[in-house]
Structure 1
Amino acid sequence: MANRTKGDKEKLSFGIEMEFFLAWRAESFTGTVPAPPGVQVNPGAPLVVRGRWENAGDRVGALALIIDEAFPSPEGAVAPLDKNAINYGDREWTHLQGYRRWSVVDDVSLRALPKELADRSDKDFGWIGAEIVSPALWATNEGFDEVRRMCDFLQRHFWIFNSHQAGLHVHVGNGNEWLPLNSLRQIAALLYAADPILAQSHPKHRYENAYCTSPRLYSNVSFGLVNPVREPVQPAPPTEVAQVERPSRYAQVITRVQNLFQHFKSHPEPSKDDKVTKKVRFPTRPATGAYNLDQDTVQGALWDLGGDYQGPHNAQSYEPVPLITAVGEILRSADRHSIARMMGIGLRRGAYSFAQLERETKRTIEFRQAASTVDPIEVVTHARIAVGLCRFAASASHNALMQVILDCEMAEGNPSWFDVYDFLSEVGLTPEAKIVQAVLSGTLTDDMRKEYWLSRNHVPRL
């Protein structure tokens, strides 16, 4: 990929949030906790809760104590555990104070047990929803190995049920700093354009989920919101040295950007046989896209937009603006708040959430659409995809970024020409594409696991 990128690669960081249901029992309970079909009960066991167990906080707290003891010092962490090493009262570090080690939280969205577990729980045994949150980790083999180690631990010690209502979230950031503004623009533009294609890498219950809706269909920029155009203001002479965000290099060239797309579009379509590496045998490309426009979601977005939306308020008349128009608007955003506004979806969080750009509590982009899992290879694969997409977009040359976005635009009208496996391969994520395909088709083997770990310079272990 060296000829497709410019400058140095961003030094990225990441974090994960794994949601799932966990079997538990009170220490005094000596019976057997019923397990639903499909749950691997060996070599793990239900979580033993000592002392109080009456409420969800007690049970989740018991898991938190075990995790805290088993993972006292995370490998590859961005923020050190030693409070004396970093001033966490400083604005540049305070947002990472809660992300220095593994933690377990009681997720309110998992309070209601799914039907598979509802009749397998009682007052002193059963199943509990939990969310495990990683520290902020550098996007290195050391950081990814830390995630793999946690997943191995969970599989080895507990019974876990991955429900449709649970998910796997990946946050991507720039250590303790903000991602550069131009990197944010290019990442947002790529994720917006690729959203319908990336949805193909997830099961249907995730890409049709109200908690990770499509930015291509329902974000503010899809409804036609634009960045404000203001007359330039002459700045007053500076009284002190200040850091100024570099203005968008796309801000005055939207017409040229669109002309560039037309230039690429005039080229003949490449042969389908040449779109991916010959050694990789992916399934037949889809005949239709993954997403279908949901009228209720459209109506909800219209209510959230209120007076900011000037188009037809009849949900049945709504169509997202052309992809190239929206991409151009994202690329000319003047600051990170404008990017968050373009990518926002009312009160909802989309499949790729930029909401954290408007606040100091986190400085990350959140990937929300992956399904619940604690399988080490699946979790690491989704983490590497999130990091890899951000790294490619942040470091891609102007022409390279536009070519990939154009492929996504052409795929909207012709899904059989370019699919998620083509896309992942094009941005340097072929090993991850192979794992995604195997997971979706139920064909993941031990040999494929070994091949993947070796391809990413991890020690294979089974």
Structure 2
Amino acid sequence: MSRPLTFGIEIEFALAAIPKGKENPCPELEDEIRGRITNFELNEWDDRFGLMRRSVESHVAATIRAAGFPCDPYSPDMGDATKWEVTTDPTIKVPTNGLRWFGIEIRSPAYYFCSESLYAVAEVLDLLKSTYCIHIDGNSCGLHVHVGNENRNFTFQHVRNLHAFLFAFDSQISSLHPPYRQNRYWLKSPRALFHWGLGGQRPPTTKEGILRYLQATDFRQLKQLGAPHIGTSAVNFFHVFEGMGEGRDTKRTVEFRQHEASLKGATVINWIKTVVGIVEYTRTIHPDAFIELLAMSVESEDVKDEGKPILAEEGFTIVDLLRAIGQLGPARFYKDRGIFRNRPVYSVDQPYELKWDTTPGYDCIYR
């Protein structure tokens, strides 16, 4: 039996704080936020030097440590895979209600994929929700999951299988995410990036894309199919390709970063199960069974004439796909939650750029 895969998460959110001695600028929210706001031993001058921000980082780290999890605030040498880490992110959009808001990013250790690790993640999420006043902006806050093979790189055959899978079932996977997490600069669809591999002339058919990936013979060819923008993909293989050489100091992980941020345990855990399940399936599946599954995506092209359903919406949805790869728990979760109808359309002016039709009827969750 193969050893279990490893995973780590990164979650972004905004946290409210009031410096000590300052009155609550939002008295109408007194009952909701008082007790969830840290009173910092700092004054306004400290904020000019970033000390208030560092104090927020330290307080969050101390809260996580007090619950029994090793955790450090920001430091120049962040990257200890054995600890939770806390830093701030100025790109996170924050409310403008008078409170002092700080963009926070939490990074988990590299965990082996098992129930105990998932419980640990859920416990930290619950701790954050119960301790702080938190706001999540869906556009600027994401949930990133890194999936790794311990400290080893993935095999070429495994990475090739994973590329073919993600290309074939891009629409199914994307249906788990709202339109504002679709095909943005750092969330490029595998289909959109693949257009570069065809010279930007036209979007490939599902069959063409699958065959191009399965016919690749080395890492270099796989990388070229998404070049030059592999680092902007919703599924980022940058660290895998960087780790091809022996002795390379890199994470060697596949980073899934399309999911919107959330501190809901069930939401985060089921997404972790989903992406780890996809990576595990493509590692262990027999070639004949794999080809049979990929053939499901070729039976109906993703882009149809107006009024005709696409396979990801009717016939073989993400729920069906998860059942097919043995992920019954996430399949039940997403069936109950519902999925998004994100129909892919191609830009006439730039045919290699995949966009999303968000006209009424195609940007809502349905069951």
Residues 1:49 and 2:40 aligned together: yes
Q: In the alignment, does 2:309 pair up with 1:422?
A: no
Task: Kindly indicate whether residue 243 of structure 2 is the aligned counterpart of residue 351 of structure 1.
Answer: no
2:14·2:136 contact (CA, 8 Å) conserved in 1? yes
Shift of 1:136: 0.9
Please show how residues 23-422 of structure 1 align to structure 2 within 5 Å: 23-33=16-26, 41=32, 45-51=36-42, 54=47, 57-72=50-65, 98-110=80-92, 113-114=93-94, 117-118=95-96, 120-121=97-98, 125-164=99-138, 165-216=140-191, 218-219=192-193, 221-225=194-198, 309=199, 312=201, 319-344=202-227, 346=229, 349-359=232-242, 360-413=249-302, 414-415=310-311, 416-422=314-320
1:440/1:65 CA distance change after superposition, 3 Å: farther
Which structure would you say has the larger RCO, counting Cα contacts within 8 Å and 6 or more residues apart?
A: 1
* Change over 3 Å in CA distance of 1:34–1:370 after alignment to 2: farther
Determine the C-alpha separation between the residues in 1 that align with 2:294 and 2:230.
27
Contact 2:196 2:226 survives alignment (8 Å): no
* C-alpha displacement of 1:26: 0.8
Percentage identity across paired residues of the two chains:
23
The verdict on how the C-alpha distance between 1:75 and 1:49 changes in structure 2, with shifts beyond 3 A counting, is: closer
The AA in structure 2 aligned to 1:395 is T
Q: Is the 8 A contact 2:78 2:85 kept in 1?
A: no
CA distance in 2, matches of 1:64, 1:56: 14
**Which structure shows the higher strand fraction?**
2
**What do the CA deviations read for 1:345-401 (whole angstroms, capped 9, x no partner)?**
627511111111232422100111111111111111111111011001111111222
Q: Measure, in 2, the Cα distance between the counterparts of 1:43 and 1:333.
A: 58
Compute the displacement of 1:98 (Å).
Answer: 2.6
**Alpha-carbon distance change, 169 to 41 in structure 1, aligned in 2, over 3 angstroms:** farther
The Cα of 1:179 is off from its aligned counterpart by: 1.7
- Hey, what's the Cα distance between the residues in 2 that align with 1:74 and 1:335? 46
Q: Is the 8 A contact 1:171 1:366 kept in 2?
A: yes
Q: TM-score, normalized by length of structure 1?
A: 0.62
SS at match of 2:100: strand
Number of equivalent positions = 317
In 2, are the aligned partners of 1:56 and 1:106 still within 8 Å (CA)? Answer: no
1:74 is displaced (CA, Å) by 9.9
Q: Aligned partners of 1:153 and 1:173: how far apart in 2?
A: 26
The answer on 1:20 being equivalent to 2:13 is yes
Task: Out of 334-343 and 429-438, give the one that drifted further.
Answer: 334-343
Structure 2 equivalent of residue 434 of structure 1:
332
Q: Give the direction of change, closer, same or farther, for the CA distance of 1:57–1:99 in structure 2 (3 Å limit).
A: farther
CA shift for structure 1 position 10? 4.8
**Contact 2:231 2:238 survives alignment (8 Å):** no
For structure 1, the residue ranges without an aligned partner over 5 or more in a row are 1-7, 82-94, 226-308, 313-318, 443-462
Query: Is the alpha carbon distance of 1:377 and 1:41 closer, same or farther for their aligned partners in structure 2, counting shifts above 3 Å?
Result: farther
The CA deviation at 1:62 is 2.6
Give the structure 2 partner of residue 299 of structure 1: none
1:264-284: CA deviation from partner (whole Å, max 9, x where unpaired):
xxxxxxxxxxxxxxxxxxxxx
Looking at structure 2, the residues matched to 411 and 145 of structure 1 have their Cα atoms a distance apart, in angstroms, of 39
TM-aligned CA distance change 1:426 to 1:145, over 3 Å = same
| Long gaps (5+) in structure 2 | 243-248, 303-309, 341-367
Q: Distance in 1 between matches of 2:49 and 2:178?
A: 29
- Cα contact 2:6–2:149 (8 A) shared by 1: yes
1:213–1:349 CA contact under 8 A, matched in 2: yes
TM-score by length of 2: 0.76
Amino acid at match of 2:214: L
Q: Residues 347 and 193 of structure 1: is their aligned pair in 2 closer, same or farther, counting only changes over 3 Å?
A: closer
Kept after mapping to 1: 8 A contact 2:47/2:53: no
SS of 2:120's partner is helix
SS in 2 for 1:14: strand
Letter in 2 for 1:365: V
Contact preservation (8 Å) 2:175, 2:339: no
